[in-house]
């Protein structure tokens, strides 16, 4: 428990500086981009010079960049993300409305990719060089090379348009009065295609990593010792080979969280899923800088939290890592 608390404290201190760099870097990049929210608003609705000046003053765009950055950092200290220019609402409310959908998509896709990918990797690595090993290795490589948006479009054409087994997009049926289990089942049907499109890409990665880890573990001395003790091949695979090959996958689970979050932006756009990804797309289109900053900050916090959880899990799985972190 002491090692876990020490690890959490160290990670939180480092994460504070990471978040500060993310916020300042993102703000400066957005400032360097041409145009602003007023330009996007005038292009879509029209307006005269007086309206432009009024909007710039109302949204604080008539101030210098450093002044707005200082005001934004001061507001963050009070947990205030500001007002959305597009929605005319507090950004915290807008993000909290979309965040559960993105989390549901990410958790489902991660469970699919990690669980099924690990299982197939164990199945392939149990007999290195066999037909099933080569077949799954080649298949995973081909799947990993497929772009996520293309896989999503193919799934829509096959299962939603041609076969009509699943809905084309959205998170649930419109104007539906379903509640309880019926609503959960409806949401699950809508998530099948986007979760598959997002999860299958990373499934291939976990499969190949597990298979490679098991191939390396087969050459270790402790496997020879297990064989000499007369243990069955099934027990050697599950209790020794797969267990040691699983540790790198736990590390990769944290590293892939940022890519999974980035991939959800594309998948949410393809399947019209109302999550943070689509919200970011809307914020970019309307040049809603405060909203985009809030989305990026939320995404950074999510990635840091996931990696912290993975580090703690890894410390418990391998006590040597936890001891080195605590003693550093």
Count the residues in the chain.
328
| pLDDT higher than threshold 80 for residue 241 | no
Encode pLDDT of 109-163 as tens digits.
888 888 888 888 888 777 777 888 888 888 888 887 888 778 888 889 999 888 8
Query: Of the ranges 145-154, 161-170, 197-206, 253-262, which one carries the lowest mean pLDDT score?
Result: 253-262
Q: What is the rounded CA–CA span in Å between residue 127 and residue 140? A: 17
Return the percentage of the chain with pLDDT > 70, whole number: 87
pTM: 0.79
| Residues whose CB falls within 8 Å of the CB of residue 109, separated by 6 or more in sequence, listed in order | 194, 195, 198, 199, 202, 260, 264
């Amino acid at each position: 428990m002491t090692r876990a608390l020490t690890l959490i404290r160290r990670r939180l201190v480092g994460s504070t500086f990471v978040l500060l760099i993310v916020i300042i870097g993102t703000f400066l990049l957005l400032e360097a981009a041409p145009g602003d929210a007023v330009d996007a608003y005038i292009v879509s609705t029209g307006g005269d010079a007086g309206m432009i000046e009024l909007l710039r003053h109302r949204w604080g765009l008539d101030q210098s960049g450093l002044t707005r950055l200082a005001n934004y950092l001061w507001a963050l200290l009070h947990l205030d993300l500001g007002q959305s220019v597009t929605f005319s609402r507090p950004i915290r409310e807008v993000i909290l409305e979309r965040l559960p959908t993105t989390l549901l998509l990410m958790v489902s896709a991660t469970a699919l990719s990690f669980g099924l990918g690990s299982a197939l990797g164990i199945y392939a690595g149990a007999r290195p060089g066999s037909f099933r090993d080569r077949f799954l290795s080649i298949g995973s490589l081909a799947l990993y090379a497929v772009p996520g948006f293309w896989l999503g479009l193919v799934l829509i054409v096959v299962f939603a348009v041609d076969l009509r087994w699943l809905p084309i997009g959205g998170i649930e049926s419109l104007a539906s009065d379903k509640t309880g289990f019926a609503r959960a089942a409806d949401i699950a049907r809508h998530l099948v295609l986007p979760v598959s499109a997002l999860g299958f890409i990373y499934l291939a990665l976990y499969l190949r990593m597990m298979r490679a880890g098991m191939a390396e573990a087969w050459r270790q001395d402790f496997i020879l010792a297990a064989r000499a003790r007369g243990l069955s091949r099934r027990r050697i695979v599950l209790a020794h080979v797969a267990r040691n090959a699983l540790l790198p996958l736990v590390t990769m689970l944290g590293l892939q969280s940022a890519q999974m979050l980035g991939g959800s932006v594309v998948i949410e756009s393809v399947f019209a899923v109302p999550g943070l990804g689509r919200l970011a797309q809307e914020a970019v289109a309307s040049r809603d800088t405060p909203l985009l900053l809030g989305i990026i900050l939320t995404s950074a916090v999510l990635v840091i939290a996931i990696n912290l959880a993975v580090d703690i899990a890894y410390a418990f799985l391998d006590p040597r890592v936890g001891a080195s972190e605590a003693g550093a």
